[in-house]
Amino acid sequence: MERLTIPTEKSVNAEQAVLGSLLIDEDIAPQLFATVHASDFISDINRQIFLAARSLFRNRSGVDPITICNALNGVKLQCDNVRDYMAQLMIVTPTSANWKAYADIMRQESALARVKSIARDISSAATLDDARPLAVELSETLARRTNTRVWGMREILESFFAYQDPGTTPAKTEYLRYGIPELDRGMYTQAGDVVVIGGYPSDGKTAWSLSLAWEFSQQQKKVGFFSHETSLEKLRDRIVTHISQIQFPRIKQRALSSADWELLAGKTPVWTANDKFFIVHAKGMSASDVQSLSRAYGFDVIFLDYIQLVEDTNSRYNPPRWEVVSKASRSMHIFAQSTGTTVFELSQLSRPLSKNSSRDPHMDSLRESGQLEQDADAVFLIFRKNPENKDETRRVLRLVKNKEGTLGSWYLDFDGSTQTFSLSTNARISRDLSDAGRAAKARNRSDAQDAYYQPSFDDSDMPF
């Protein structure tokens, strides 16, 4: 959204230093045009000069005051004045070596000017509905990345060696722990990742996600659980059941025993000391609403239960659901990467076309949008092996996408009375193998000396 912003002396000086650096050292042009954007300029003449220089660079033409002046046909200034102005920029810029620092100052000042402009519009808004989109814009401006990083091979290797050096700080990248040993060994979920958890209704995706959210909060991550469907009261009862292990029926019937009350009294101080876990009533919220609240609370990890219920409040027409879900997925993916927030998106699964189908759900079962699987760093599916048996307590947890680790399937036992999942005995079902992996496995069985792939598990008891 374009809006009137007022240049300051500091912003103008920084803009002039960036342009001056470009004019006195054309070698910095590739990196400069990769990191500086036209929207970073407040001054119109400086923006026009930047755009002209960028156009010349993209057309592989020389970038200097004369070529820029010739390209500025639409600028309402005499060409001689523009040339004199650019010559002055070259004189007052002490060195091009500091252009990154100049650009950073320029971006900060530009963002500050936009924030002030939005704040003025908010203060003059006639209604809350008028102020709401402005508040979203303000939040997005505050969270927007201040630069773009571009690495050549030298920077890649320098960063890699520094990262692998045991003496560097931090010594290790911090990954989220799921509480399942094989997942913790093979998953590398970190800040800025998107994880999708798909499941049919009542198969346990909300219960498992709540337990994960609590687990992550115990790892000192600030977690927000956004519920677009289930009431806060129902989530309250589930999470208290899970962490207290008091029988769920007694909580729902408000029939706690004296022993239950003693247990709660003993654990309450510990629970209330946890200031990292939050549940949010998100019915009717859009992706922008979720992102704004996440920024306001400073969440490290958020859960959306579930992504198909995220609204699109900015559309001027009634778009199809697949379009709404795709837009929400893309928006949350950008949000995760730009803010470093880890996003867990719960998703409904599409039912098989035939009730008699024995086909287990796969990644393409995610309802209403293939965009979900494209944007995700990892995709879990949780389901009953016998979907018609609602009394079945065993679930299959299948990891069908994992960009930086192994795939596999596990059996989980679900205890509804305590809202707790646990890894079953002989829980490992199978490891999803590529075609090459399957071929290698066959060779291992026929000729151990020629094998180049050895599975890390015993699959002799695989049920399917």
**Domain 181-432 in CATH: superfamily?**
P-loop containing nucleotide triphosphate hydrolases (3.40.50.300)
Write out pLDDT tens, residues 68-102. Answer: 888 876 554 556 678 788 888 888 888 888 888 88
Write out pLDDT tens, residues 250-305. Answer: 989 988 899 999 888 888 887 887 888 999 888 888 888 888 888 888 899 999 98
Largest CA distance in the chain: 89
Question: Terminus-to-terminus CA distance in the chain, angstroms?
Answer: 55
Q: Is the pLDDT of residue 354 over 90?
A: no
Residue 73, Cβ density class (10 Å: 0-12 exposed, 13-18 middle, ≥19 buried): exposed
Rounded CA Rg of the chain: 28
pLDDT for residue 168: 58
* Alpha-helical runs (H) found in 376-455: 435-446
pLDDT for residue 356: 54
The whole-number average pLDDT for the span 230-237 is: 89
Q: Is the pLDDT of residue 139 over 50?
A: yes
Q: Residue 275: helix, strand or coil by DSSP?
A: coil
Q: Report how far Cα 77 is from the mean position of its chain's Cα atoms.
A: 45
Mean pLDDT is lowest, of 166-180, 353-367, 434-448, for 434-448
**Token couple for 227:** 């519920």
Domain ranges of the chain: 9-143, 181-432
- What are the strands of the beta sheet with 408-415, ordered from one edge? 277-281, 223-227, 301-305, 342-348, 194-199, 378-383, 394-402, 408-415, 420-430
Q: Give the total residue count for the chain.
A: 464
pLDDT for residue 176: 92
Q: Residue 378: helix, strand or coil by DSSP?
A: strand
pLDDT for residue 226: 93
pLDDT for residue 155: 66
Confidence of residue 150 (pLDDT cuts 50, 70, 90): low
Share of the chain above pLDDT 70, in %: 78
pLDDT for residue 448: 44
Q: Which residue has the tokens 């922008």?
A: 288
Q: Is the pLDDT of residue 57 over 70?
A: yes
Write out pLDDT tens, residues 435-459. Answer: 334 444 444 445 444 433 333 333 3
Write out pLDDT tens, residues 313-322. Answer: 665 667 777 7
CB 416 within 8 A of CB 399: no
CB 285 within 8 A of CB 306: no
CB 360 within 8 A of CB 200: no
Which residues are registered as beta bridge partners of 412? 395, 423
Mean pLDDT is lowest, of 158-162, 170-174, 195-199, 336-340, for 170-174
pLDDT for residue 345: 93
Write out pLDDT tens, residues 370-412. Answer: 788 888 899 999 988 876 776 778 888 999 899 888 888 888 8
**Token couple for 90:** 């070259």
pLDDT for residue 454: 37
pLDDT for residue 222: 92
- Residue 89 neighbours by CB under 8 Å, 6+ apart: 16, 19, 20, 23
**Token couple for 156:** 């890649």
pLDDT for residue 453: 35
For the domain with range 9-143, which CATH number is right: 1.10.860.10, 3.60.20.10, 3.30.420.40, 2.120.10.30?
1.10.860.10
- In the predicted model, what is the mean pLDDT of the chain? 79
CB under 8 A, 24+ apart: contacts of 185-188: 186/402, 186/405, 186/406, 186/408, 187/378, 187/399, 187/402, 187/405, 188/404, 188/405
The whole-number average pLDDT for the span 211-238 is: 91
Q: At what angle do helices 287-297 and 321-339 cross, to 10 degrees?
A: 20
Mean pLDDT is lowest, of 12-21, 204-213, 422-431, 453-462, for 453-462
pLDDT for residue 169: 55
| Separation CA 299–CA 225 (nearest Å) | 10
